[in-house]
Amino acid sequence: MDFAFPEDLARQIAKRWQSFASKRNSAPPLPAPAHLRHILGTSFFTSLEREEGRPLRFVLCCSPDLDIVRDGFGETVPVVPLAVPRPISIEAIRALAPAVSPTNAAILVRFPRDPNPAAPCEIAGVLHVGEHVARARSGRSFYYRPAPFALTIEVCDPGELHVYQGGAKVVSLRAGRLHDLIAYSELEFLPISQILMDGERALRARIVGPEHEPSRETSDFEWTALLNTVLCIVNTVRASGHGGTVLLTAPGAETSLPVQTKFAVGEHRSVLGERFVEFLNARHVLTSARLFQRRRDAGAAGVDTAHSHLQNAAFAAEESLADAAELVAGMAAVDGALILTSDLRVPGFGAEIVLDTAKPVVAHEVIGHAQSPAAWPAVDSESFGMRHRSALRCVGVTDHTAAFVISQDGHVSLFWKQDGRILLKRDVSTANPNMIGRSHLQ
């Protein structure tokens, strides 16, 4: 297998950079090829370093200027400038990274407008990005203030780089392979689309759709919001560092799971499901009001005040939804699987999967997109650890069920069944597919 390196990542960024520009705005400045390779190479090799025994995680925001505006807004991102900038290097990033949390800040790298390779790239300060962007990327927030309109490099793990233009992910380098995000989005999760649609149907009677919005747009938003809620739970388990398994089933399918549950949840209105319905209804009311105003072309001050009230209600509802998702994710800390239905009920947690472990089970590993016609290699269940083996066997004997297995090192695998075969996809990208709050709640 051919491996990708920072130089390959630089070529892909340059190739795709202009395609991410909107109709209203040109793309933000990109470093000259030599400078881009230098920044990416330095980021990559710094990611292999450790600080006090821990891997380095950091974010670089790259611009020729100190002042960087937010994507689509004229607001400038607050910056703490260094009195004496220093050349970008492994040592410089390693020294500064522990002081700059990747959840709310970024190291500002200033690159020269001059394409001369001899001109230095330097660390010029620290940007106060705010934690809302990181929360949105992990699916924990549907609304966020726009990201810096610049080249941003997020280093999550050794050798793992994610590259953004503003709030849009351009490409990533992970496990020695390039992942082109243009083609991914929700396509990563097509295998569980039917499970999610079953959940949508179960919730629909409690959701009041917006007036004047095309039904397709409403349906797309609701489906993506449901997916993001599931991913929020997976990402919160991932961030905890203890790992876990989330068994996702269609409503009603949970009764056929081969499990013994330590903590069964009694019949009651689902906290998570209720918060999800409240969020969608708040968003739909806001959308209806905005579309009505556009039809009337009013713009009166009273209407704007009403919109502010509705927008605040939508923000409060999404915060409550994120809090509920984090509450559910915490249940995965108990030994055993967390059972989650796609209408966002939790039948139980601490579930032990009870199956004959002596019987061999074969899964097929999906390489590339889940709908690719490529031949998928067979993988023996005995090549996995206990958590993965249990999830594989569970999915193999039940219908309308998928399993997210989160390793302690943060890698996520997805198991599902298709045409009678158990399929596996490793290193699933669980980032928010479309940063959906940006267009619907701002």
In this predicted model, what pLDDT tens digit does every residue of 415-427 receive, in sequence order?
Answer: 999 888 888 888 8
| Residue whose entry in the numeric block shows the structure tokens 């689902």 | 270
User: For residues 61 and 79, is the Cβ–Cβ distance under 8 A?
Assistant: no
Min mean pLDDT across 271-275, 344-348, 353-357 is at: 353-357
Arithmetic mean of pLDDT, 35-59: 92
Query: Biggest alpha carbon distance in the chain?
Result: 71
The residue type found at 87 is P
Domain boundaries, the chain: 6-182, 186-425
User: For residues 390 and 303, is the Cβ–Cβ distance under 8 A?
Assistant: no
CATH of domain 186-425: 3.40.1700.10
Mean residue pLDDT across the chain: 85
| φ/ψ of residue 86, rounded to 5 | -125, 145
| φ/ψ of residue 269, rounded to 5 | -65, 135
DSSP string for residues in 216-262:
HHHHHHHHHHHHHHHHHHHHHHHHHSS-EEEEEE-TTGGGG--EEEE
What's the pLDDT score for residue 152?
96
What's the pLDDT score for residue 281?
96
Collapsing DSSP to helix, strand or coil, 161 comes out as strand
What's the pLDDT score for residue 395?
92
SS3 content of the chain, % helix, strand, coil (to 5): 40, 25, 35
The residue type found at 111 is F
pTM for the structure as a whole: 0.76
- Torsion sign across C-alpha atoms 263, 264, 266, 270: positive
Collapsing DSSP to helix, strand or coil, 13 comes out as helix
pLDDT band at 441 (very low <50, low <70, confident <90, very high): very low
pLDDT band at 206 (very low <50, low <70, confident <90, very high): very high
User: For residues 7 and 144, is the Cβ–Cβ distance under 8 A?
Assistant: no
User: For residues 181 and 169, is the Cβ–Cβ distance under 8 A?
Assistant: yes
